[in-house]
Chains A and B, each alone.
With several copies, the nearest count.
Chain A
Amino acid sequence: MELPLLVALRDDGSVDPDLDPKFDAETLRLLFRKMVFLRALDEKALHLQRSGRIGFYIGAAGQEAAESGSGFALQPGDWLFPSYRDQGVALLHGYPLSALVAQLFGNSADATKGRQMPNHWCDRSARVVSVSSPVATQLPQSVGAAYAAKLRGEKNAFIAYFGDGGSSTGEFHVAMNFAGVFSTPNVFFCSNNQYAISVPVSKQTASGSIAAKAAAYGIQGVRVDGNDVLAVYRVTRDALERARAGCGSTLVEAITYRMGAHSTSDDPARYRSGEEVEAWRRKDPIARFAGHLRRLGLLDEAAEEAAAVEAREEIRRAVAACESAPPVPPESLVEDVYAEMPWHLSEQREWIRKTAGS
């Protein structure tokens, strides 16, 4: 049961006219800068982690085409149910960099009060739903949110992200099945980056393809070259449009590669070879898109370098703006468990006041 792999940016430098989103020069350059920005963000965050300034980080180097291509296709009213690796999509969907960086520090500048680990952010006003660690729990939730919109006759799409590992969970199955049965406006975007921590996708499923699983649910399935930002944009845009048009859900599988570690706690050298990594590095989605833009005469070395410098500077400013914010106040520990604080948490707040001396 093989689905074709959709590719826009062909090896010979041409673009498949059926998949070409036909962006103008400005948009192509903008998209490129977004990808460069993500790479720079990862580098900075990894540096912050290594130097002990933040506790943890999950990078997405190598997956910039999947992140930016799909994120670029979202429209403002759409809802995003991200996984912990999708900061790239969130930023494109209106989650401010300042908020994202503050979340990494988890101090009083963080809109979520330092409640969760880095990479577990959210933004109600941007419709970016709260990231949680348990893999794939967001998938059935995205179906419910989509159902609500459909019930009210709203025309937004609901995109949820997950990984190849996530496709093995029970939550994946129930979400796809509910989306099929209720014909909701969902897009399920699987970043198949070949690994779930150390487990290769060949040990995750014997089906050979995650997109092909869509048929088991009566929804659309699409396999796309996840390192091809134009193709990813195109298939995601189409899937979102089908959703908004009331034509049901799509499962998109973007074939890509996590070039770095699973997280700052991981050592990928334990489970994959240097050659394998090298082979994928040669397919680096940023370099690939840069080559395309260069061929079109839309990019030169100076512009490429400028994009990186600009990105680094913006990130540096964001970090500087929040790094030294004071820590979250101790009492905030017991807030937001319920809408109103019940007696037992008021008691616990009293202990905090006494012992923390606040």
Chain B
Amino acid sequence: MATMTLVQAIHDALALEMERDPRVVLLGEDIGRNGGVFRATEGLWERFGPERVIDTPLAEAGIVGMAIGMSLNGLRPVAEIQFADFIFPAFEQIVSELAKFRYRSAGQFIAPVVIRTPSGGGIKGGHYHSQSPEAYFIHTAGLKVAMPSTPADAKGLLAAAMRDPDPVIFFEPKALYRTAKGEVPEGDFTVPLGKARTVRAGEDVSLITYGATVHVAEEAAALAQEEGIGVDLLDLRTLWPLDIEAVVRSVERTGRAVVLHEAPRTCGFGAELVALIQEKAFLHLKAPVARVTGFDTPFPYALEKLYIPDARRVLDAIRAAVSF
């Protein structure tokens, strides 16, 4: 075990997989000589050469389109989109192409591309350096979507994504890049896609989240504990395909649930979680499933702190659920 920040864990996964598998190539803006604007690829250009760590022109459609083509022809490309906010020029390639290759060719052509991209707020980045666009991709059949909350998961999930036969959109909570530190297994290590992690067990209310808000949730759960409320806290890790069993098992036990994310509320992933929970555990529910989310506005600059759910908002929702 080594202690790493989340961005170091990402780096570790990339370096190990590149070492292990010569088919792995990285491409994106400023990922080469500059080592990535968040330094996730630092030193890899020097180590693996500019043919495998590729600085591209400024065109996300080109980055993803090129990655798709690479994957069709046997490489395992990892595309970096510098900020999740800039993924939209590549939306056509992702939604119309990446997600549909296997299906439309009935398995003849597959596109196992990983798209890594920093998402979420917390760095005073305003509209375009803060968004959490995961719901767009969860709604798109054919994609897998993951988001780690700890360095160990960051390494393990990314390695798993890089070995997965399907395209994976891998969101990295940029607020955690340097603030999340933890023990990370050294060398070869994967965390399977599709398995949630119980962060803490509790009997009174399920709290379901992923990414940066896992830490907010932990804070809220600790505060709730002080009030005698036991929180069953689930970190989804893979958003889609969801670990539905873990979710249902928890809610069946607690009968109450709060879902938490930073992304805007309306048609966010929280809505899907609510829908699934009430479909699968209706008779266990003692209170409506509550959503604690970002606001239905563009991501603000000055009011960032207000926008991002904090422990107090989560605690309020926990209390409301328990006292419903």
Residues on A close to B: CB < 8 A?
55-56, 79, 106-107, 110-117, 120, 122-124, 129-130, 132-135, 137, 139-149, 151-152, 165-166, 168-171, 173-175, 177-178, 181-182, 196-199, 203-205, 265-266, 270-271, 327-328, 330, 332-339, 342-345, 348, 351-352, 355-356
Contact = CB atoms under 8 A, between A and B. Distances in A.
Interface in B274-324: 295-298, 300-303, 306-307, 312-313, 316
A145 B163 CA distance: 19
A273 to B, nearest CB: 12
A174 B85 contact: no
B129 to A, nearest CB: 7
Most A-side CB within 10 Å, residue of B25, B51, B61, B107 = B61
B223 interface: no
Contact of B106 (A111, A152, A177): A111
B297 A133 contact: no
Contacts of A199: 29-30, 55-58
A114 B72 contact: no
Interface of B: 25, 29-30, 32-35, 37, 51-52, 54-59, 61-62, 64-75, 77, 85-86, 88-89, 92-93, 96-97, 100-110, 124-129, 141-142, 144, 164-166, 194, 241-242, 244-245, 265-266, 295-298, 300-303, 306-307, 312-313, 316
A24 B125 CA distance: 44
A174 B124 contact: no
A87 B164 CA distance: 33
Contacts of A130: 101, 104-105, 108-109
Contact of B96 (A137, A151, A339): A137
Contact of A338 (B73, B142, B306): B142
Contact of B108 (A111, A134, A204, A205): A111
A112 B106 contact: yes
Contacts of A116: 104, 126-127, 301
B68 A144 contact: yes
23 contacts: A106-B302, A107-B302, A116-B301, A117-B129, A122-B104, A122-B105, A130-B105, A134-B86, A137-B96, A144-B65, A148-B73, A151-B52, A165-B58, A166-B58, A170-B59, A170-B61, A199-B58, A204-B58, A328-B302, A337-B103, A339-B165, A344-B265, A351-B313
Contacts of B61: 140, 170-171, 174
Contacts of B302: 106-107, 110, 113-115, 327-328
Contact of A115 (B35, B141, B301): B301
A178 B59 contact: yes
Given A120-B127, A144-B65, 14 more contacts: A117-B124, A117-B126, A129-B72, A143-B65, A144-B70, A145-B73, A151-B52, A168-B57, A174-B57, A199-B29, A199-B55, A333-B307, A336-B102, A343-B244
A144 B126 contact: no
Given A147-B70, A337-B103, A345 B97 contact: no
B51 A115 contact: no
Nearest to B33: A271
A169 B58 contact: yes
Specify which of B33, B66, B97, B307 lies most central, judged by the most chain A CB atoms within 10 Å of its CB: B66
B292 to A, nearest CB: 10
